[in-house]
Structure 1
Amino acid sequence: MNHLRFLHYLDEVARVGSIRQAAERLHVAPSAVNRRIQDLEDELGTPIFERLPRGMRLTAAGELFVGYIRNRAADLAQVRSKIEDLQGLRRGTVKIVVSQAVASVFLPKHIAHFRSLHPMVDFQVQVGGHRQALNALRTFETELALVFNLAPENDIQAMSEHEQQLCVMMHKDHPLAVKPGKIRLRDCAEYPLVLPSGEMAGRQLLNDYLVRRSLKLRPAIESNSFDFLRGYLYHEQALSFQIAIGVMTDGGQLVSREIEDSGFPKGKLVLASLRGRQLPVIVYAFAEYISQVFANGEPS
């Protein structure tokens, strides 16, 4: 199927916008990539790319042709998966984009368990936010997305959802850690806050609630890295916030508390795919597995 490999050359140039960068990722000579593009343009009778000083940009015809390539690649993966399933091999690759919150504990645990049942299955895992997840689904770079508070989109299908609450995190030596039960947000205002950046779903959940209240929480530090936020709690009597599934206690060094405030909203962890796309058998099996984990109420 060499012709499919040559079509992949074009797709890769479309993704990165450069023949040289595409050739590096494909481990081939730039001249080979350029030659295949020229061959396809001659065959189609129209330019596929605009040659710009800073790279390559798809023409309208190119957009149509790349869509054809990606759909064809997805269909081929589905056929291969069905053939392998008939043979009882249960092999394949699962591509998934996930929120940071599930990348440290939840997803590694369940990929490991799934691979114990299907050891010939490979995984490609990317960590990203809503925009990256949606783009990866729409460009066929991934088959599944597992992200927090994914907004409804006409072309995105929610395969399962699991309700999640936001928790307050702190070091075990923090004054609030010795108090049993839930914590009021007003109590949090008395301590330095290290908060997720504004574009992150957990922060948006917090902000949406505070807008409706007379309470202000001013962050001392903001970051888009949960590893940084968690690590900072070791060095100051600060507080941070994390959805329940992403809470890491670091062997008891950190603790989490639920939020007591009446009416504080919960979010949803959403497992999603591109609507209308036929998923390979093993990808669908993994999606069903994760959906069953949610149904059993494990992420708490």
Structure 2
Amino acid sequence: MDERALKYFEVVAKTKSIRAASEVLHVSPSAISRKVAQLEAQLNVRLMDRIGRGVDITESGVRLARYIQDINQKKNDLISDLSEIENLQSGTLRISVGGGFIPDLIDHAIAQFSRRHPGVKLVLQVGGGDDVIDCIKHEETDIGVLLNSPPDTKLDVLYSCPFQALSLLVPTESRWAQLDTITPAELAEVPLALLNESFSIRRAVDLYEVRQEIRLKELMVCNSFDALKNYVSAGLGGTLLPKVCVSKELKNQSFVAVNIEGMHTLDTTVDLVIRKGRPLSASIQAMQECIVTGMKAFNATT
């Protein structure tokens, strides 16, 4: 089968849209349609049905998508195995991670790993906790870092530890910056920018609201840690994040982290996860060591 046609169909199956696949692949919709039609003719099956602006993947299409996924995984595993023979001089390691961990991951774990194994290519997928789990379960990435990994028969937790409590992050010149600790009632008066519900951090915030019987003043919701930081930098109010997510801002004193009364009672863990039953390749083991020993998220609980 044509490798390019398989790649095109894989993206169509994931996006459920030829137009969306076109944007991902930077290939014209007509070229994608032709390749998929060639696959259908070669296999003598219907792989998808057009529905409005999207497509509906048939059962045959679903099975082909799984086959492509398996082939890609085996290919990556083979490259990884061969690179292990050469002492991790080449190969690819894929990591899915919550957006708030990016500075910590790159500055500490990836910097350490890349110095030791400069020939290994690293591919990062950034998103919320749900995105990390989906990437691991569908074998789109090799390992993942997230908060509060839920019990799942398709996941193994390689390492878990208590996570740093959330703090109120405000500009240095803010009136709240003078506080050592803010009460739930005072926190309810702060204009806040918060992450959306796909993030484990937001679920911790929602749990805090319930336990403290308060309603926070949410003036902006988003899926971007940079947007939260920009909101604070603009002097519009504050946000709720762990200190490890804003270590640079705290170091240069552009932000102040205010402790939140009662927030320490939240049961939050930071977890390193892998797909259930997946062999621990040398590259995964090496990155695991760098993450667990190097990242502040796995070594800071206050």
User: Is 2:107 aligned against 1:106?
Assistant: no
The letter for the 1-side match of 2:205 is L
The letter for the 1-side match of 2:111 is A
Q: 1:149 deviation in Å? A: 2.4
Aligned partner of 2:191 in structure 1 is 192
Q: Is the 8 A contact 1:247 1:256 kept in 2?
A: no
Q: 1:42 deviation in Å? A: 4.4
Q: Is the 8 A contact 1:196 1:223 kept in 2?
A: yes
Q: Is the 8 A contact 1:174 1:237 kept in 2?
A: no
User: Is 2:181 aligned against 1:173?
Assistant: no
Q: Give TM-score scaled by structure 2 length.
A: 0.82
Tell me the distance in 2 between the aligned counterparts of 1:89 and 1:228. Answer: 37
Instruction: Name the CA shift for 1:88/1:6 in 2 (closer, same or farther; >3 Å).
Output: farther
Tell me the distance in 1 between the aligned counterparts of 2:228 and 2:145. Answer: 21
Q: Where do 5+ consecutive residues of structure 1 fail to align?
A: none
Tell me the distance in 2 between the aligned counterparts of 1:23 and 1:214. Answer: 47
Q: Alignment partner of 1:219: what SS?
A: strand
Instruction: Name the CA shift for 1:61/1:252 in 2 (closer, same or farther; >3 Å).
Output: same
Aligned partner of 1:57 in structure 2 is 56
Aligned partner of 1:285 in structure 2 is 286
Identify which range, 76-85 or 44-53, moves more after superposition. Answer: 44-53
Q: Alignment partner of 1:212: what SS?
A: helix
Q: Give TM-score scaled by structure 1 length.
A: 0.83
Q: Alignment partner of 1:127: what SS?
A: strand
Aligned partner of 1:247 in structure 2 is 246
User: Which protein is richer in helix relative to its size?
Assistant: 2
User: Is 2:195 aligned against 1:201?
Assistant: no
Tell me the distance in 2 between the aligned counterparts of 1:201 and 1:49. Answer: 35
Tell me the distance in 1 between the aligned counterparts of 2:25 and 2:236. Answer: 49
Q: 1:198 deviation in Å? A: 4.2
Q: Is the 8 A contact 1:75 1:278 kept in 2?
A: no
Identify which range, 120-129 or 138-147, moves more after superposition. Answer: 138-147
The letter for the 1-side match of 2:155 is I
Tell me the distance in 1 between the aligned counterparts of 2:218 and 2:20. Answer: 40
In the TM superposition, what are the counterparts of 1:25-64 in structure 2 within 5 Å? 26=25, 34=33, 37-52=36-51, 54-64=53-63
Q: Is the 8 A contact 1:149 1:267 kept in 2?
A: yes
Q: 1:125 deviation in Å? A: 1.7
Q: Where do 5+ consecutive residues of structure 2 fail to align?
A: none
Identify which range, 129-138 or 59-68, moves more after superposition. Answer: 129-138
Identify which range, 185-194 or 200-209, moves more after superposition. Answer: 185-194
User: Is 2:81 aligned against 1:85?
Assistant: no
Aligned partner of 2:94 in structure 1 is 95
Q: Is the 8 A contact 1:143 1:279 kept in 2?
A: no
Aligned partner of 2:277 in structure 1 is 276
Q: 1:186 deviation in Å? A: 2.8
The letter for the 2-side match of 1:159 is L
The letter for the 2-side match of 1:144 is I
The letter for the 1-side match of 2:106 is P
Q: 1:235 deviation in Å? A: 4.0
The letter for the 1-side match of 2:255 is L
Encode CA deviations 1:258-279: one digit per residue, 9 max, x unaligned: 3232763141222222223346
Q: 1:40 deviation in Å? A: 4.1
Runs of 4+ off more than 6 Å: 27-32
Tell me the distance in 2 between the aligned counterparts of 1:190 and 1:47. Answer: 58
Tell me the distance in 2 between the aligned counterparts of 1:214 and 1:89. Answer: 52
Instruction: Name the CA shift for 1:3/1:191 in 2 (closer, same or farther; >3 Å).
Output: closer
Aligned partner of 1:129 in structure 2 is 128
User: Is 2:204 aligned against 1:217?
Assistant: no
Aligned partner of 1:183 in structure 2 is 182
